[in-house]
């Protein structure tokens, strides 16, 4: 990480607002450019030693429309007429979208109308910056070029595309000799991207790929200023005493580089975790040395009772500071400021060959989701933080980044919120071109090997100090061969990489690292909830790096934002229709498998609303079962579950599959199924052996619990009721099994509702969990399992749920607002007569036009209430989400009529 000192643009407030909105992709121009001069913002670069100032934006244009020579385009004063303003991190298409050139690509099939041919030629990125003087040395420091670029400064080529290739390679270009007082120009001639030919990033089957294939500059370009000696690669290596956590050793390392033609002596000093240190470093002309400060020579770097970093739910997330300064003859030449955390991560293979993570001496069941950036790689800090908060709300502890390695701020946010991150290279395109026979990537050249090694070195140096980083996967579907593996491991070792390196996300092995300890056995399409309990294929044993039951139909609110009425009509009527918002893959192009199961289990949909409400039940039960099975099996003596990554956590666009939260941060049945499964203290049902299990995800043991299991017919007739008292459960994911349900109960019903209620010694309810169960089990055809699912030949019968009595739910709500945040408290009560419960009652905070307020964090949702029962829920959100109106609460449910009540 590098310091990013605050800087001010010498431009109007309106222009600053424009640049900020461009960075998030939120700004829409009033129209297409029409001959007017559109200058990029000018970045003022201070002369402060150690400053690193990001360019604040660009003007971009296609080479098909720019006939001027590169020397002219990259010189100050060039009239960039008809160019488009772009943010500091922007793909070409992101810039065009921000300028209103194209309609919303997330709605319907609008993206098809964007001509791909426009992005098959290079595009210019041009930016001006000013310096007051040239007394300091100046360099450009950047990565994030997709796919490659010629770099020009003030009319001169400073690096050709052959040197500046790959999305993750980092480049520092000394431009001291070219910089002049006043205005200066940097220009990048960005080449088109092809993920099968370039070591960049692609989307495979996640979403419809962007027409520009993300060509552009997607990370900051820094203008560095400094003196004769530069500090680079500064970092802290931590060594925590495990399991006592009583002490920690800190070793500070940095490269000290003499950028002059004469010998100098630099004094390098600073503080790490408050401990000072200093040393004189003599350097010959153009010499670089590595300076090290360790507890052996600085005793204060041996910390007693260190503040240890933990994932959310296991402890706090303290961070320490590192500050370094290099001075020459008493004058500051360069500075570094960074943060780091102290934690210990280990990941040995267990007796069954599965990867088992330990953090700070405690065993960790990885409960994760696959992370997706925005399809057009637009960075929005608040949007990223909102999603990370959702991950914590869901009880997840890990997010997997398969390629698409986010900017520095993402990892800083993960550090702050206690979300572990599992980064790695992506599958099936150029990254695996040398080793994946079923992928589409081209074979590697000698130049590709160099880019891959440089990419690994750059990302290792960037990520190593973040305590949130759990591992690095140097392969995805395939492991690297000996040559590629050596290049990666050499780069990681040189960077003092502190956490385990895993050869692949699949079950593949690499020559030096050996077995991955992971499995990638699917499923990726619909399977019934009982699937997850089988210790085979994708079931709850070992570490499954990417898996889910596939489709995740959003709420009606989101569906109506993303699809036309005609498309929504097709959605529920035609299972075999190609769904543009599912996947470009032929395998995942339709919803046929999912829709067949939905109709087979719940009955054929009678309309769009009926289809969506049935989808929410199906997604709730499936996602809940996935996480519940893995956490129940985590403590097994034989073939325990060690980790599961739900594929995926979110989508980069408006999607019909692979998401726990949608593009707009709305929350469907999948979201609340995951939240229920991962609650801190949880009573759950086992689909394989009918056991009732209490799981304790809290750090410490709990005692004196009572669990009650009651089975009902859909009309509310009670068929079974059993209570177990005095239940004790150890902490850290341990579980107890106080009850086993009978195989049959009386009565004619083929569908039953199971209510589990867990109370503490004071009788306070701490967990409520409701299942719908069938006397007819789902039948899996294991013999016809494919890489993406196991066929189901017979379905559980839940059709009786459709005939449940419609029952009212009374609701009252009130809202408190302070400091830009609002909290709405909602009390629900199953009102009216009759014995049927209100099943999966869903509550939404809405504005005056009935639009959901998002993002929002609910204490609980999709709750089920029996006659006379009530529950109080809370929702917290930004007051601005109400769009200036008074809040309302919309209540609906499986068998509850929709109504909206005031909540002011």
Which positions are annotated as active-site residues? 477, 546
- CB contact at 8 A, 155 and 74: yes
Element (H, E) at 451: helix 446-463
- Would you give the end-to-end CA distance of the chain in angstroms? 45
Residue among 383, 415, 421 at smallest CA distance from 399: 421
Question: How many whole angstroms separate alpha carbon 354 and alpha carbon 357?
Answer: 10
In degrees to the nearest 10, what's the CA dihedral of 382, 384, 385, 391? 150
Distance of CA 382 to the CA centre of its chain: 13
Following DSSP, what letter does each residue of 477-519 receive, concatenated?
SS---HHHHHHHHHHHHHTT--S-EES-SSS-EETTTEE---B
Q: Is 213 in a helix, a strand, or coil? A: coil
- How large is the C-alpha radius of gyration of the chain? 29
CB 214 within 8 A of CB 201: yes
Could you count the other beta carbons within 10 Å of the beta carbon of residue 121? 12
* Helices and strands of the chain, counted as H and E runs: 12, 51
C-alpha dihedral sign at 349, 351, 357, 358: negative
In the numeric block, which tokens belong to residue 575? 């299972």
* Token duo for residue 789: 């699912």
Q: What angle do CA 895, 901, 904 make, to 5 degrees?
A: 145
Alpha helices, DSSP H only, in 780-872? none
Tokens 């939240």 locate to: 675
Rounded to 5°, angle at Cα 677 from 867 and 802: 45
Nearest-CA neighbor of 416 among 383, 436, 450, 392?
A: 392
Residue 471, phi then psi, degrees to nearest 5: -170, 175
Spell out the long-range contacts of 241-246 with Cβ–Cβ below 8 A and sequence spacing 24 or more. 242/344, 242/360, 242/361, 243/360, 243/361, 245/306, 245/308, 245/360, 245/361, 246/304, 246/305
The single residue listed with the structure tokens 């949909």 is: 605
Helix (H, G, I), strand (E, B) or coil at 473: strand
Cα 408 to Cα 414: distance, rounded to the nearest angstrom: 10
Task: Indicate the helix (H) or strand (E) that contains 472.
Answer: strand 472-473
Tokens of 873: 């829920």
Measured between alpha carbons, how far is residue 353 from residues 143, 178, 534, 538, 844 in Å? 37, 57, 18, 16, 45
- Using DSSP bridges, classify how beta strands 357-359 and 345-346 pair: parallel, antiparallel or unpaired: antiparallel
H/E segment holding residue 815: strand 809-818
Report which of 179, 135, 144, 128 is spatially closest to residue 158, judged by C-alpha positions. 179
The beta strands (E) that lie in 191-330 are given as: 216-217, 221-226, 229-240, 247-258, 264-272, 275-283, 288-293, 302-304, 320-328
């Amino acid at each position: 990480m590098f310091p990013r000192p605050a800087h001010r643009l010498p431009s109007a407030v309106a222009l600053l607002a424009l640049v900020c909105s461009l960075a998030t992709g939120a700004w829409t121009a009033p129209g297409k450019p029409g001959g007017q001069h559109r200058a990029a913002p000018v970045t003022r670069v201070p002369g402060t030693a150690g400053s690193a100032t990001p360019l604040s934006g660009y003007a971009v244009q296609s080479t098909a429309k720019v006939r001027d020579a590169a020397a002219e385009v990259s010189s100050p004063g060039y009239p960039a007429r008809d160019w488009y303003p772009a943010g500091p991190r922007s793909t070409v298409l992101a810039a065009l979208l921000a300028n209103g050139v194209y309609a919303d690509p997330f709605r319907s099939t609008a993206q098809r109308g964007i001509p791909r041919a426009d992005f098959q030629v290079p595009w210019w990125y041009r930016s001006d910056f000013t310096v007051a003087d040239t007394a300091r040395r100046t360099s450009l420091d950047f990565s994030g070029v997709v796919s490659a670029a010629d770099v020009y400064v003030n009319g001169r080529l400073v690096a050709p595309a052959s040197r500046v290739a790959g999305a993750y390679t980092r480049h520092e270009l000394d431009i001291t000799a070219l910089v002049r007082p006043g205005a200066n120009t940097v220009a990048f001639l960005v080449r088109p991207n092809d993920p099968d030919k370039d070591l960049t990033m692609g989307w495979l089957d996640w979403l419809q790929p962007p027409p520009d294939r993300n060509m552009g500059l997607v990370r900051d370009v820094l203008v560095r200023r400094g003196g004769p000696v530069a500090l680079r690669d500064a970092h802290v290596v931590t060594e925590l005493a495990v399991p006592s956590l009583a002490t920690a050793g800190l070793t500070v390392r940095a490269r000290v580089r003499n950028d002059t033609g004469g010998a100098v002596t630099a004094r390098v000093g600073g503080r790490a975790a408050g401990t000072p240190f200093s040393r004189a470093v003599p350097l010959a002309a153009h010499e670089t040395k590595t300076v090290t400060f360790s507890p052996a020579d600085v005793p204060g770097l041996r910390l007693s009772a260190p503040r240890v970093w933990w994932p959310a739910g296991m402890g706090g997330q303290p961070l320490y500071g590192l500050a370094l300064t290099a001075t020459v003859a008493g004058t500051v030449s360069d500075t570094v400021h960074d943060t780091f955390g102290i934690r210990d991560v280990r990941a040995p293979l267990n007796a069954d060959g599965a990867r088992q993570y330990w953090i700070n001496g405690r065993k960790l069941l990885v409960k994760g989701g696959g992370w997706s950036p925005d399809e057009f790689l637009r960075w929005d800090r608040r949007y990223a933080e909102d999603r990370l908060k959702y991950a914590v709300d869901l009880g997840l502890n890990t997010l997997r980044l398969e390629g698409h390695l986010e900017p520095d701020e993402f990892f800083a946010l993960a550090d702050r919120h206690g979300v572990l991150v599992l980064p790695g290279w992506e599958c099936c395109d150029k990254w695996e071109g040398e080793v994946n026979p079923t992928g589409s990537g081209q074979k590697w050249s000698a130049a590709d090997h160099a880019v891959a090694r440089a990419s690994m070195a750059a990302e290792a140096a960037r990520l190593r100090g973040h305590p949130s980083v759990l591992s690095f996967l140097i392969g995805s579907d395939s492991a690297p061969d000996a040559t590629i593996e050596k290049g990666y491991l050499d780069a990681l070792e040189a960077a003092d990489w502190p956490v385990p390196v895993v050869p692949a996300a699949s079950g593949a092995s690499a020559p030096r690292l050996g077995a991955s300890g992971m499995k990638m056995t699917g499923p990726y399409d619909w399977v019934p909830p009982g699937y997850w309990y089988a210790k085979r294929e994708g079931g709850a044993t070992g570490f499954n790096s990417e898996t889910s039951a596939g489709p995740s139909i959003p709420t009606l609110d989101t569906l109506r934002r993303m699809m036309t009425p005609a498309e929504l009509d097709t959605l529920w009527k035609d299972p075999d229709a190609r769904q543009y918002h599912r996947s470009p893959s032929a395998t995942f192009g339709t919803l046929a498998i999912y829709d067949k199961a939905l109709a087979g289990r719940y009955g054929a949909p009678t309309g769009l609303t009926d289809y969506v409400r049935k989808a929410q039940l199906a997604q709730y039960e499936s996602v809940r079962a996935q996480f519940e099975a893995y956490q129940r099996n985590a403590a097994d003596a034989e073939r325990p579950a060690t980790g599961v990554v739900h594929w995926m956590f979110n989508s980069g666009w408006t999607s019909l599959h692979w998401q726990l939260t949608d593009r707009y941060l709305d929350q469907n049945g999948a979201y609340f199924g995951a939240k229920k499964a991962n609650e801190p203290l949880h009573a759950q049902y086992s689909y394989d052996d009918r056991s009732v299990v209490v799981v304790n995800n809290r750090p410490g043991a709990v005692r004196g619990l009572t669990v009650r299991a009651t089975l009902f017919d859909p009309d509310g007739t009670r068929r079974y009721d059993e209570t177990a008292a005095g239940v004790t459960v150890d902490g850290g994911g341990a579980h107890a099994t106080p009850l086993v349900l009978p195989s049959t109960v009386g009565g004619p019903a083929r569908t039953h509702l199971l209510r589990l209620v867990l109370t503490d010694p004071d009788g306070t309810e701490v967990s409520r969990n409701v299942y719908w169960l069938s006397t007819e089990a789902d039948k899996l055809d294991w013999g016809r399992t494919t890489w993406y699912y196991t066929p189901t030949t017979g379905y559980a019968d839940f059709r009786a749920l459709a005939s449940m009595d419609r029952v009212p739910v009374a609701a009252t709500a009130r809202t408190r607002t302070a400091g830009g945040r609002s909290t709405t408290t909602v009390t629900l009560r199953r009102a009216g007569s009759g014995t049927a419960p209100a099943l999966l009652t869903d509550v939404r905070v809405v504005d005056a036009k009935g639009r959901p307020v998002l993002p929002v964090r609910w204490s609980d949702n999709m709750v089920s209430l029996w006659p006379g029962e009530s529950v109080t829920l809370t929702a917290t959100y930004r007051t601005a989400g109400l769009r200036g109106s008074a809040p309302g609460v919309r209540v609906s449910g499986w068998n509850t009529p929709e109504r909206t009540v005031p909540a002011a």
